[in-house]
């Protein structure tokens, strides 16, 4: 059994030793030390608040701040020495501060503060900074897609439903569709950052601060937009963690679908795109293989993020108010999701910026049966109801198949008139893929003007 430790922030009540396994089970330093900078910054500003109350004098504040900066540099330079009893980042930092400036002064930094509001503050600072960084990286990723869309606006390809060729579209229209998904992710992330950026500091364990600390002063010093108005909620709220995990899950769902499309397009059967060597691997057995491992990993890593969200929601779904140790389970899925998303954005940006498209293969994949709807639309413009023209166009497709023709464009004008005498000779102009995409010029369509407008609108939203 381990010996009772005076270094534990909660140790005064206990006289017996704890099970060593319990110490290990309870410890969070191995993963929460990533928040060392936020913890030190929170303590720095909190002690300024205590100084305003006269609970720490100016000389003590100076000593505390000097010690905090020494500790910050030790973490930065990987020189911080962890010791038994450092169960979390808060304990480790306070223990080290006592070694540097003496326990008498260091012992004052926790006055009126609980680890409950301390950890909530650390996490909000840490998550805010990580999300702001993700926002910048996501912006770059979307801009990369949009630039590619502008450069390759003239490339046509099949659009698919049910993974079957449906109608001709522009490659840039496909790029724009995912840029739209990711731009919505971008906007959602901005909203989450706003909700994350509220301060719980100064709420103590749950009931509030006994010395009347200026919480607005603390919030301003830490870059928060405001304070959480209820002390019970402040120390126990983990909605910002759930929202971050949900956002990460939704983003990874989009990146997974994006990757799946590109995996399909990179196969020899499609041959629409070719990934750069930097984002591909070979086979240990088959020398001809070039595998899209970057895209498969993007698709696969979405699962770990999804699982992290589900696990965390199960951990918090039935806990009573206010703080409970179950909440310690928030950090590992959160940290893992933030790292996975960051790496995924960077990899996806690299993939998009370096892949090469096969314009000829894309356009060769267009087949005349994809213009069957255009044939129906032709008669609609002559006043025939669409439900009727849909049936007529279907007859044309069927007749071309029965005659073993390569497409409906191979039907003669006379054969078309046998199906419906309302076809005129100008019907043959329908069988043009460029004409087909250019007809779809309404907002959101695949005409050149419509796609360029989409790209422009998305650029404006990012700015």
As annotated, the active-site residues are 162, 283
What distance in Å separates the CA atoms of residue 315 and residue 333, rounded to the nearest whole number? Answer: 11
Q: In residues, how long is the chain?
A: 463
Q: What are phi and psi of 232, to 5 degrees?
A: -65, -45
Q: What are phi and psi of 14, to 5 degrees?
A: -105, 140
What distance in Å separates the CA atoms of residue 140 and residue 150, rounded to the nearest whole number? Answer: 15
Q: What is the CA radius of gyration of the chain?
A: 31
β-strands 198-199, 226-227: how paired?
parallel
Residue whose token pair is 């087949």 = 367
Task: Tell me if the bond preceding 88 is cis, omega within 30° of 0.
Answer: no
Q: Is 436 exposed, middle or buried (0-12, 13-18, 19+ CB in 10 A)?
A: buried
Q: Is 105 exposed, middle or buried (0-12, 13-18, 19+ CB in 10 A)?
A: buried
Contacts of 328 (CB under 8 A, 6+ apart): 28
β-strands 356-357, 273-274: how paired?
antiparallel
What distance in Å separates the CA atoms of residue 118 and residue 135, rounded to the nearest whole number? Answer: 26
Residue whose token pair is 């709220």 = 237
What distance in Å separates the CA atoms of residue 106 and residue 144, rounded to the nearest whole number? Answer: 50
What 3-state DSSP class applies to 274? strand
What distance in Å separates the CA atoms of residue 406 and residue 393, rounded to the nearest whole number? Answer: 16
Task: Tell me if the bond preceding 322 is cis, omega within 30° of 0.
Answer: yes
Asked if 235 and 322 count as a contact pair (C-beta separation under 8 A), the reply is yes
Q: Distance between the two ends of the chain, CA-based, in angstroms?
A: 59
Asked if 222 and 121 count as a contact pair (C-beta separation under 8 A), the reply is yes
What distance in Å separates the CA atoms of residue 209 and residue 216, rounded to the nearest whole number? Answer: 13
Residue 41 corresponds to which tokens in the numbers above?
Answer: 């910054």
DSSP secondary structure letter of residue 425: G
């Amino acid at each position: 059994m381990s010996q009772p430790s005076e270094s534990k922030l909660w140790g005064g009540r206990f006289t017996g030793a704890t099970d060593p396994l319990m110490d290990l089970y309870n410890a969070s330093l191995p993963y929460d030390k990533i928040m060392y900078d936020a913890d030190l910054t929170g303590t720095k500003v909190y002690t300024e608040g205590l100084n305003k109350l006269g609970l720490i004098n100016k000389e003590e504040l100076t000593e505390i701040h000097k010690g905090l900066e020494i500790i910050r540099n030790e973490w930065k330079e990987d020189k911080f020495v962890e010791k038994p009893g450092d169960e979390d980042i808060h304990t480790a930092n306070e223990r080290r501060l006592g070694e540097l400036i003496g326990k008498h002064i260091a012992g004052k930094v926790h006055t009126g503060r609980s680890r409950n509001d301390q950890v909530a503050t650390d996490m909000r600072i840490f998550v805010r900074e990580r999300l702001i960084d993700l926002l910048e990286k996501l912006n770059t990723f979307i801009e990369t897609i949009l630039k590619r869309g502008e450069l390759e606006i003239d490339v046509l390809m099949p659009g698919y439903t049910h993974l079957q060729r449906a109608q001709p579209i522009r490659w840039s229209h496909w790029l724009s569709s995912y840029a739209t998904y990711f731009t919505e992710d971008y906007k959602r992330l901005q909203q989450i950052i706003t909700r994350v950026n509220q301060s719980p500091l100064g709420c103590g364990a749950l009931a509030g601060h006994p010395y009347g600390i200026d919480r607005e002063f603390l919030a301003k010093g830490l870059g928060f937009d405001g304070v959480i108005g209820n002390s019970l909620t402040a120390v126990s709220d983990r909605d910002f963690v759930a929202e971050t995990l949900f956002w990460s899950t939704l983003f990874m769902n989009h990146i997974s679908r994006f990757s799946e499309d590109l995996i399909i397009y990179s196969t020899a059967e499609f041959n629409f795109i070719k990934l750069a060597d930097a984002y591909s691997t070979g086979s240990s057995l088959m020398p001809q293989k070039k595998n899209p491992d970057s895209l498969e990993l993007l698709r696969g890593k979405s699962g770990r993020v999804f699982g992290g969200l589900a696990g965390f929601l199960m951990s918090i779904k039935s806990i009573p108010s206010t703080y409970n140790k179950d909440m310690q389970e928030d950090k590992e899925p959160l940290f893992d999701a933030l790292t996975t998303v960051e790496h995924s954005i960077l990899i996806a940006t690299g993939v998009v910026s370096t892949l090469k498209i096969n314009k000829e293969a894309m356009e060769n994949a267009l087949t005349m049966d994809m213009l069957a709807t255009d044939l129906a639309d032709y008669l609609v413009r002559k006043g025939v109801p669409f439900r009727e023209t849909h049936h007529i166009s279907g007859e044309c497709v069927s007749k071309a198949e029965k005659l073993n023709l390569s497409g409906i464009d191979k039907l003669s004008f006379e054969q078309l008139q046998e199906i419906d005498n309302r076809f005129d000779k100008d019907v043959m102009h329908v069988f043009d893929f460029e004409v087909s995409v250019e007809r779809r010029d309404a907002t959101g369509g695949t005409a050149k003007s419509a796609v360029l407008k989409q790209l422009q609108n998305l650029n404006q939203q990012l700015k």
